[in-house]
Amino acid sequence: MEELPNLTDLQEKLGVSFSDDKTLLTALTHRSYLNENPDFELDHNERLEFLGDAVLELVVTDHLYQNYPLPEGELTNLRSAIVRGEMLSKIALEMGIEPYLLLSRGEKKDTGKARQYILANAVEAVIGAIYRDQGYDAAKKVISAFFIEKLPEVVEKGLYIDTKSKFQELAQDRFRVTPIYKVLKESGLDHEKEFVIGVFLHDKQLGEGSGSSKQEAQQEAAKNALAALEKDLEK
């Protein structure tokens, strides 16, 4: 078994000093690592990911409620923009999590969508580990430093706008038709699904998107279709 990582620098980057380093190491352990190292003393990170997801959502939701006097739908979209997989994987890199991940040899070689998915889950697991080891306030501090600070940019650039709804409004206004989304391809294990979805107006496909959930893939498809449609309308 490979030498386990020293987590001192990572804890310093996070601004958290764990009382039990094993909790943090568990958060960094992917299921695939245990498949190759069945005698490893710790569990994989999926339970901590489940916990961290809830803590992250609560902290972000509370901050939005306290600071953004917007309707429920817009608050939901803002929260989604902050906690979606793409943002999570980006923040994982900012936290410096990637070099510390315990992965199988095969997963170490993958640098595409699958790696982004692993990074996104690891961020949630790390938040769960901080909550378990240090409590809510410590988790909130880290979430504020890495997530909440991105909200002004998200609002300014309109990154929270629901492209699926925007595309539907445009399609109904221009063509009197509601877009239809179809799964073009589905791959991966149950916990690492990858969907490719196309969006159609009648029988014509206007856009295609991929994601780790159908909703994410639909948003990507709508974004691409919206860009194509707006480009055509400018001609």
Which residue type sits at 140?
Answer: K
Other CB atoms within 10 A of residue 15 CB: 12
Based on the fold, state whether residues 35 and 120 are members of the same structural domain. Answer: yes
In a domain, 119, yes or no: yes
**Residues in the chain, pLDDT under 70:** 1-2, 191, 233-235
Say how many domains are in the chain. 2
| 208 bridge partner residues | 198
Selection from 206, 31, 53, 33 nearest residue 129 by Cα = 53
Based on the fold, state whether residues 43 and 107 are members of the same structural domain. Answer: yes
How many angstroms from the chain centroid is the CA of residue 18? 24
Helices 113-134 and 136-146: crossing angle, nearest 10°? 140
| 185 bridge partner residues | 196
In a domain, 3, yes or no: no
CA-based end-to-end distance of the chain: 61
**According to the model, what pLDDT value does residue 144 have?**
97
**According to the model, what pLDDT value does residue 161 have?**
74
Based on the fold, state whether residues 150 and 72 are members of the same structural domain. Answer: yes
In a domain, 144, yes or no: yes
DSSP string, 59-119: HHHHHHHHH----HHHHHHHHHHHHSHHHHHHHHHHHT-GGG-B--HHHHH--SHHHHHHH
Based on the fold, state whether residues 100 and 149 are members of the same structural domain. Answer: yes
Based on the fold, state whether residues 45 and 139 are members of the same structural domain. Answer: yes
Q: What are the catalytic residues?
A: 53, 124
Q: Among 129, 156, 183, which residue terminates a domain?
A: 156
**According to the model, what pLDDT value does residue 233 have?**
67
- Owning domain of residue 222: 163-234
Based on the fold, state whether residues 126 and 96 are members of the same structural domain. Answer: yes
**According to the model, what pLDDT value does residue 232 have?**
73
Q: Per this entry, what is the length of the chain?
A: 235
Based on the fold, state whether residues 128 and 64 are members of the same structural domain. Answer: yes
Q: Among 134, 156, 178, which residue terminates a domain?
A: 156
Based on the fold, state whether residues 63 and 142 are members of the same structural domain. Answer: yes
Q: Tell me the backbone φ, ψ of residue 218, rounded to 5 degrees.
A: -65, -40
